[in-house]
């Protein structure tokens, strides 16, 4: 998975990859993402709950600013965390598939 932001030169190819990955019946919305995100917006980007993002902020794993009583998270930090999580998820799944192959639990196509 590739995360943005994309400049005008790279955006068409990125959009084409997303549409190819999702298939012909997918609905896609393109929107501008503000530089500072609410916890809810960050949760949407990460595919996580609002409570999980709040825990990440409270633990220091995701830097945030406070505007009054509200947390705001930098878009770049959220995208970087999403990329790290995607990389880790891919590595874990690849390792799991390797173990299953080794133990004969995985059928090759």
Residue 43: burial class (beta carbons within 10 Å; 0-12, 13-18, 19+): buried
Per-residue pLDDT of the chain (109 residues; tens, 9 = 90+): 566 667 788 888 888 888 888 888 888 887 788 999 999 999 998 999 999 999 999 999 999 999 998 999 999 999 999 999 999 999 999 999 899 888 888 666 6
Structural domain count of the chain: 2
Determine the pLDDT at residue 2.
62
Q: How far apart are CA 68 and CA 91, in angstroms?
A: 39
Within-domain flag for 109: no
- CATH label of the domain that carries residue 83: 1.10.10.10
Range of the domain at 68: 35-102
- Domain co-membership, 22 together with 49: no
- Domain co-membership, 39 together with 5: no
């Amino acid at each position: 998975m590739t995360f943005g932001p994309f400049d005008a030169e790279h955006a068409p190819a990125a959009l084409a990859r997303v549409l190819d990955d999702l298939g012909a019946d997918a609905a896609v919305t393109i929107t501008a993402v503000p530089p500072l995100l609410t916890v809810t917006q960050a949760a949407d980007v990460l595919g996580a709950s609002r409570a999980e993002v709040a825990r990440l902020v409270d633990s220091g794993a995701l830097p945030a600013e406070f505007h009054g009583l509200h947390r705001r998270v930098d878009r770049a930090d959220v995208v970087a965390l999403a990329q790290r999580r995607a990389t880790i998820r891919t590595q874990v799944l690849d390792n799991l598939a390797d173990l299953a192959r080794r133990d004969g639990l995985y059928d090759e196509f």
